Amino acid sequence: MATLMKSRPQVPLSTAVIGPQSWRDASLKTIKVSQEVVRKSDKGCDLGRTLDPLPSLRDNCAQQSNEVVHCYVREARAVVVKLRESLVETNEEIKLLIRKKESLEKALEHKRKDIALNKLSMEVRLTRPSREKDQDGADSLLDLERKQLLQLKRMLEAQLRAVQKQLQVLDEARKRLGSVIQERSRVLDLLCHAASSVTNGRNSRNMHHAIKPTFGSNGLGYSRQVHFNMRNDGRRSSTPLPEDAMEYEPTRSYTPTLDPLGPYTPESAAAIAQAHDARNKSSTLRRDVEDAIARTEQLQRSAHKSVNDGLTQKLAETIALKQHLQVQSGENRAAVHRAQRWFDATEKAKGYTLGPESHADLTTRERLDRPAVRVFQRHPGTNLPEPQDIIRGAAGLDASLLATSRNIGMLHLARMRLDDDKRDKHGAASVDAAIIRLRRRRANHRWLMGSA
């Protein structure tokens, strides 16, 4: 317009005019004012073409807002997927730890059964005869086994308490993850929740995309910075990336930027960190529990075997002593028979020495005043020692009979003791054999605590 005004013909001011000067100056002033207004108007139009928003501002603002929302929602979905992965891993760790807890409870039940079996073995051994109740090596082995089983039981109970406490920690971490997932999922109502769409999209992203609202001199606007890279198919990808331009690889896990007002909040990071620490401690605890169960089983088996070997050795010693007692009892019986035969022979010899009970039954040759003796005694100093020898022989036979009867009594007494000892050995061997059979029968722990 200024150019058109310059090209218009101007009224010559040097010609003579008829009108008054004030009238002419007023018109010229009006023209100059109009020219200035036209210049300012043209300048404002040029400035408006440069700075004024386009008629599509509303649509552009809505589109950019939608892109911001879509970017935020996608990142929120990635965070939710990461949280859900952590939740799944936590659930799997809880399952594994529960299985270890069941194994631990089973091992603890076995130790209780072993303690009950040890107590029953000691009680059964109390039923041995009084002669066999002295403290022996088998009793010492049973005492050592009981102490070791009690120690193993306390150790397993401590492990069980630690497992229960760790399960509570994992449950708290799982609840926290669930609450964070529920809170983060509130913006995902209009978006697919499939994890494959997140991972596949993440693996193909190679673009940094950021949309930030800015405030210019003419009002609200958006400054958009987009960096494009070529995808494998030759097309440009417009998927937004975090602000740190992270490269997404198939083998690297996605780690979003921590932002209190963004998708990855400090609460999400804390929940994931808590669950990760709980899973690490749980895995370490599971290894410790497995080692403790294996160690306790090995110690229990070695203690059980040592007690069984001790009882077997004691049973073998008892049976050997019983056999020696049986042999000695037979020899004692043979000695009793020999002594009884000797007693009978000595008693008969004594009867022969004393002669018949009646004087009338004496024969002539048995009399002390037989004719030959009477003839011999006609001279002085011819006394015969026959009466004294007969008396001494009878006294010696009496002493022999008394000693033989005493020996027979001692043999009978020794035989009674041998029989008692043999009977006690048989009872002790029966008790030990019953204990060995009981321990072998219940070594597989397939029995109830309340069973007889």
How many angstroms separate the CA atoms of 377 and 109, rounded?
105
- Please report the pLDDT score of residue 149 as a whole number: 96
Domain boundary among 303, 322, 339: 303
Q: Is the pLDDT of residue 381 over 80?
A: no
Domain boundary among 303, 319, 342: 303
Mean pLDDT of the chain: 82
- Please report the pLDDT score of residue 51 as a whole number: 87
- Please report the pLDDT score of residue 248 as a whole number: 33
**Are 392 and 330 part of one and the same domain?**
yes
- Please report the pLDDT score of residue 253 as a whole number: 55
Domain boundary among 265, 288, 303: 303
**Are 182 and 277 part of one and the same domain?**
yes
- Please report the pLDDT score of residue 213 as a whole number: 40
**Are 285 and 315 part of one and the same domain?**
no
- Please report the pLDDT score of residue 350 as a whole number: 85
Is the CB of residue 133 less than 8 Å from the CB of residue 126?
A: yes
DSSP 28: H
Domain for residue 15, yes or no?
Answer: no
**Are 101 and 234 part of one and the same domain?**
yes
Domain of residue 350: give its range: 304-354+385-441
How many angstroms separate the CA atoms of 297 and 300, rounded?
5
**Are 124 and 158 part of one and the same domain?**
yes
Average pLDDT over residues 389-398: 86
Domain for residue 423, yes or no?
Answer: yes
Domain for residue 373, yes or no?
Answer: no
pTM, 2 dp? 0.69
* DSSP H helices in 185-223: 195-203
- Please report the pLDDT score of residue 392 as a whole number: 87
Domain for residue 420, yes or no?
Answer: yes
- Please report the pLDDT score of residue 275 as a whole number: 96
Stretch among 221-225, 296-300, 418-422 having the lowest mean pLDDT: 221-225
**Are 259 and 309 part of one and the same domain?**
no
Is the CB of residue 417 less than 8 Å from the CB of residue 307?
A: no
Q: Kindly report, residue by residue over 328-359, the tens digit of the pLDDT.
A: 999 999 999 999 999 999 998 988 887 777 76
Is the CB of residue 252 less than 8 Å from the CB of residue 202?
A: no
Q: Is the pLDDT of residue 198 over 50?
A: yes
**Are 64 and 130 part of one and the same domain?**
yes
Q: Is the pLDDT of residue 101 over 80?
A: yes
Domain for residue 161, yes or no?
Answer: yes
Domain for residue 365, yes or no?
Answer: no
**Are 346 and 299 part of one and the same domain?**
no
Question: How many domains is the chain partitioned into structurally?
Answer: 2
Domain for residue 339, yes or no?
Answer: yes
**Are 265 and 286 part of one and the same domain?**
yes
- Please report the pLDDT score of residue 356 as a whole number: 76
How many angstroms separate the CA atoms of 338 and 348, rounded?
15
**Are 189 and 286 part of one and the same domain?**
yes
Task: Report how many helices (DSSP H) and strands (DSSP E) the chain contains, helices first.
Answer: 8, 2
Q: How sure is the predictor about 197, in pLDDT bands with cuts at 50, 70 and 90?
A: low
Q: Is the pLDDT of residue 379 over 90?
A: no
Q: Is the pLDDT of residue 150 over 70?
A: yes
Q: Is the pLDDT of residue 269 over 90?
A: yes
**Are 201 and 183 part of one and the same domain?**
yes
Domain for residue 185, yes or no?
Answer: yes
Phi-psi region of 423 (alpha: psi -120 to 50; beta: other; left: phi over 0): alpha
- What b/e string do you get for 99-132 counting C-beta neighbours within 10 Å, with b at 16 or more? ebbeebeebbebbebbbbbbeebbeebeebeeeb
**Are 98 and 239 part of one and the same domain?**
yes
DSSP 214: E
Amino acid at 192: C
Is the CB of residue 75 less than 8 Å from the CB of residue 262?
A: yes
How many angstroms separate the CA atoms of 305 and 310, rounded?
8
